[in-house]
Amino acid sequence: MSAFSTAADLSKATLLGRYLLLRTTMTSPTRGNLFILSAPSGAGKSSLIKALLEKHNDIKVSVSHTTRAPRPGEENGVHYHFVSVDEFKQLIDKGDFFEWAQVFENYYGTSKQAIEEQLAAGVDVFLDIDWQGARQVRELMPEVKTIFILPPSTAELESRLNSRGQDSQEVIAGRMAEAKSESSHYNEFDYILVNDDFEQTRSELEHIVISARLEQKAQAVRHQALIADLLK
């Protein structure tokens, strides 16, 4: 098996059905925006999301399912929904995932129902997923805003991974190779942010969210009553 396998074998009919289901609430005045944030391990993605959530209570991050073991400090249902491989495959068979992928020995997936409920409630949702998942989501929702975070340099990325004190040099070498593979897909994303100055990068990420909220499509739906009154 290759290092990466995805749900790309889903039938077109299944993909279309999921897309139409997502579209049913897109005309709601309270419809939220969907964002994807991807980055190689160590680029600072998790810290950026945390900082954004601390400032905005109308933004949520999707809690993904995974078969990997919890890391120190991670809580089930908060950082991930930790499940067994058998449980994960059952969820795949039931069609419960918006997107899913196998990255080496671990599976990762995003709950379709959870995303739909949050967007319908007017919440802006961030998906913390890789380029594979981003491709799948874009097939279902072309409107999704995709953002890729780059580290300032290869040396800085390696330094950050070492400073965690969690992984062996062999694991870090693997993560560096994976970072190169991940970064090669940068051109598939709408936005690229270089996380050199954390506060500046956080501000840039915040501006992307604000910009999406001010787009004509979103504003036209949000203020449809006002526009209708003005055009009488």
Please say whether the beta carbons of 208 and 145 come within 8 A.
Answer: yes
What are the sequence ranges of the domains in the chain?
A: 4-230
pLDDT digits (tens, 9 = 90+) for 193-213: 999 999 999 999 999 999 999
Structure confidence at residue 207 (pLDDT): 96
d(CA 25, CA 21) in angstroms, rounded, equals: 8
d(CA 131, CA 152) in angstroms, rounded, equals: 19
CB within 8 Å of 137: residues ≥ 6 apart: 34, 36, 98, 99, 110, 127, 129, 144
pLDDT digits (tens, 9 = 90+) for 10-57: 444 554 455 444 444 444 456 899 999 999 988 989 999 999 999 998
Q: Domain 4-230: give its CATH code.
A: 3.40.50.300
84: which 2 tokens?
A: 């067994």
pTM score: 0.77
Binding annotation: 39-46
Please say whether the beta carbons of 79 and 62 come within 8 A.
Answer: no
Binding annotation for ATP: 39-46
* Average pLDDT over all residues of the chain: 85
Structure confidence at residue 195 (pLDDT): 94
**What does DSSP assign to residue 44?**
S
Structure confidence at residue 17 (pLDDT): 52
pLDDT digits (tens, 9 = 90+) for 100-141: 988 878 999 999 888 999 999 989 999 998 998 899 899 888
For the chain, what percent of residues have pLDDT higher than 90? 53
Helices 131-140 and 12-23, axial angle in degrees (round to 10): 70
Structure confidence at residue 5 (pLDDT): 46
CB within 8 Å of 45: residues ≥ 6 apart: 37, 38, 39, 128, 149
